[in-house]
């Protein structure tokens, strides 16, 4: 099944964007009568057939609609410090979208390696990963957010911070996959290569974040983030 992203779709007829039309007609060589699928990115899947295979304005007709197509049984927000090498962060966005994430927050911390985040490329990576993995829900990408700003944001689910120092709370660090329960909404913080500062860890604990570990291995930022996303998925699919 070929999946196209159409956030502005209003059935029954819809004209693909010029880029999507070119991909459909020139690259995939689809023609009139061929079938494809589209999503609005917020849960609705549309099955359609091509009625005008124009390479710049391909028009389709929706023949069947499926609402709430394979939603996640939880919401997961990943607040991750951008890496110095932007390709590594884009790799995280791609793989995490494939596994299942609701929202990405590029997080500016005291030890951040990158303090400028250009969202345009990240948005394209997320869209491509959503289409490739045949998902009807597209994760949102927030602008670069400071650690202080994030601490002030309300969050109804469980909040976790992964760090390398000794724990500050009496309960200590818990293994994420063991403490999270299926169906729980989660916000997970992953710091830069230099880790969170002691002051940031203390502020997070004071704000109700639970200290966690992802295991004994030494992980890069983007690897740790994907491991956390995978753990949440496994907990919810046991």
For the chain, which residues make up each domain, given as ranges? 3-66, 76-236
Query: pLDDT tens across 69-80, in order?
Result: 999 999 999 999
Q: How confident is the model at residue 55 (pLDDT cuts 50, 70, 90)?
A: very high
Determine the average pLDDT of the residues in 47-58.
96
Query: pLDDT tens across 92-108, in order?
Result: 999 999 999 999 999 99
| Tokens representing residue 174 in the block | 């818990």
Yes or no: say if 80 and 221 are a contact pair by the CB < 8 Å rule: yes
Closest of 157, 191, 198, 183 to residue 71, by C-alpha: 183
Architecture of domain 3-66: Beta Barrel (2.40)
CATH of domain 76-236: 3.40.1280.10
Characterise 93 by phi-psi region: left (phi > 0), alpha (psi -120 to 50), beta (else).
Answer: alpha
Q: Is 170 a residue whose pLDDT tops 90?
A: no
pTM: 0.94
Same fold, 3-66 and 76-236: no
Determine the average pLDDT of the residues in 14-33.
95
Q: How confident is the model at residue 185 (pLDDT cuts 50, 70, 90)?
A: very high
Predicted confidence at residue 172, as pLDDT, reads 92
Looking at every residue in the chain, the average pLDDT score rounds to: 95
């Amino acid at each position: 099944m070929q999946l196209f992203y159409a956030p502005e779709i209003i059935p029954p007829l819809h004209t693909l964007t010029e880029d999507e039309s070119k991909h459909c007609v020139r690259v995939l060589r689809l023609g009139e009568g061929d079938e494809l699928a589209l999503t609005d990115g917020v849960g609705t899947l549309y099955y359609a057939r091509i009625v005008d295979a124009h390479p710049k304005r391909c028009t389709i007709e929706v023949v069947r609609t499926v609402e709430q197509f394979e939603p996640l049984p939880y919401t997961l927000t990943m607040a991750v410090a951008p890496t110095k090498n932007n390709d590594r962060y884009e790799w995280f966005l791609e793989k995490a979208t494939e596994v299942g994430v609701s929202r990405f927050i590029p997080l500016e911390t005291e030890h951040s390696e990158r303090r400028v985040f250009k969202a345009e490329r990240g948005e394209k990576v997320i869209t491509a990963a959503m289409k490739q993995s045949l998902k009807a829900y597209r994760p949102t990408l927030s602008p670069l957010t400071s650690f202080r700003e994030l601490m002030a944001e309300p969050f109804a689910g469980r909040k976790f911070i992964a760090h390398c120092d000794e724990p500050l709370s009496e309960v200590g660090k818990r293994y994420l996959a063991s403490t999270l329960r299926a169906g729980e909404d989660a916000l997970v913080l992953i710091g830069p290569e230099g880790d969170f500062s002691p002051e940031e860890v203390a502020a997070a604990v004071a704000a109700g974040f639970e200290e966690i570990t992802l295991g004994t291995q030494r992980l890069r930022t983007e690897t740790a983030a994907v491991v956390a996303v995978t753990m949440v998925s496994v907990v919810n699919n046991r």
